[in-house]
Amino acid sequence: MSQKTEKLIDKKGLRLDGRKSDELRPIKIEVGALSNADGSAYIEQGKNKILAAVYGPRELHPKHMALPDRMVLRCRYHMAPFSVQERKSPAPSRREIELSKVIREAVEPAIFVEYYPRTAIDVFVEVLQADGSTRCTSITAASLALADAGIPMRDLVVACSAGKIEDMIVLDLMDIEDKVGSADVPVAFMPNLGVITLLQMDGILTHEEFEKAVNLAIEGCKKIYTLQKEALRAKYVSVKEVEE
């Protein structure tokens, strides 16, 4: 940070963008944004703009990678060169490779991977504009794209982050809060089953603070989950209306 940190929380307890500590950024979700993909989703969470596309299940190439008893889930998280202030090299960075793995492992428990052995599902996550907690937003979008592709799933996966800024536990961190704040806890969650599929922590929190952050993130996940379901339904809403 160039100059000494600006205040992240004002006297009224509001954050830089006017949110309360337990408030999410505004979210807009669209399912089926791409017509070429088998399934797709576009999500805007604050200034985050992320596109997810799913292809498959399909024959796996190279064939020796196929597994005899389950399908292979492949995931690519990629940030567009224009997604951040300073141009990002389009080549996959160490961070992107790691996030690809993180996203894959967060959505895999939701998929009935053993149903279609010897096949592969490809998930492409493209970050068009990044503003903190992109891994969470990506997971939310990826699971929607999977559901849109007709892949059998136990539940939709939702993800949301919580963190600590200026000794306060807050929900859904944005970029500056992540960089200046002291801790970040991304959580991915399957609300109907009550299962956490991703839990990370970057920074230092006490035991109590950590618990508070996780619970806050789960509350956030549940809120996003309703939006997620709504978006998935919206694509098929015409179907619902004409029912007898």
Partner 1 sequence: MPTFFERRQLVTPGDLLAEGDYVAGENTYKEDSRVYATRIGLVDYEDKKVSVVALRAFYIPRVGDTVIGTVVEVGFSGWTVDINSPYLALLKASDVLSRPFKPQKNDLTEVLDVGDLVVAKIVSYDRTHNPQLSVNEPGLGKITRGQIVRVTPTKIPRVIGKKGSMISMIKQETECHIILGHNGVILITGKSIEDEELAMMAIHKIEEESHTTGLTDRISQLIKKEKEKGR
Q: How far is the CB of 117 from partner 1 (least distance, A)?
A: 5
Nearest to 129 by CA among 193, 85, 66: 85
CA distance 206 to 219: 20
**Which residues bind to partner 1, rule: CB under 8 A?**
38-39, 56-59, 68, 110, 112, 116-119, 147-156, 190-193, 229, 232-233, 236-237, 239-240, 242-244
Q: How far is the CB of 233 from partner 1 (least distance, A)?
A: 6
Of the pair 45, 143, the CB lying nearest partner 1 is at 143
Of the pair 69, 208, the CB lying nearest partner 1 is at 69
CA distance 57 to 187: 27
Q: How far is the CB of 71 from partner 1 (least distance, A)?
A: 8
Of the pair 31, 165, the CB lying nearest partner 1 is at 31
Nearest to 59 by CA among 120, 147, 126: 120
Of the pair 208, 243, the CB lying nearest partner 1 is at 243
Q: How far is the CB of 68 from partner 1 (least distance, A)?
A: 7
CB-based contact 111:151 (threshold 8 Å): yes
Of the pair 79, 158, the CB lying nearest partner 1 is at 158
Q: How far is the CB of 120 from partner 1 (least distance, A)?
A: 9
CA distance 211 to 216: 9
What DSSP character marks residue 27?
Answer: E
CA distance between the termini of the chain: 60
CA distance 212 to 183: 13
* Structure tokens belonging to residue 181: 């704040």
